[in-house]
Amino acid sequence: MRGFLSPALRSQLSDTQSGFQKLSRHRRAHLAKAASTTLVKASQWARGEAVAADVATALETQVKAHLAKIRA
């Protein structure tokens, strides 16, 4: 039983990451293209995996703008 002494690790997702996961695949692909990245990298970011800082900030701004437009 290896690993029973270490705590379970769960990534803490932000509101924008969870909001991105709830969008349709078409909308996620559109936002990824607007952020100059691929859908694969955007999905990795939404799951809390490691991506480049510039990709993360670009996705963050695009998703925040889109979610604000939906709520307005």
Q: How far apart are CA 57 and CA 18, in angstroms?
A: 15
Q: What is the pLDDT of residues 13-68, one digit of tens each?
A: 999 999 999 999 999 999 999 999 999 999 999 999 999 999 999 999 999 999 99
Question: pTM, whole model, 2 decimals?
Answer: 0.82
Q: What is the pLDDT of residues 11-24, one digit of tens each?
A: 889 999 999 999 99
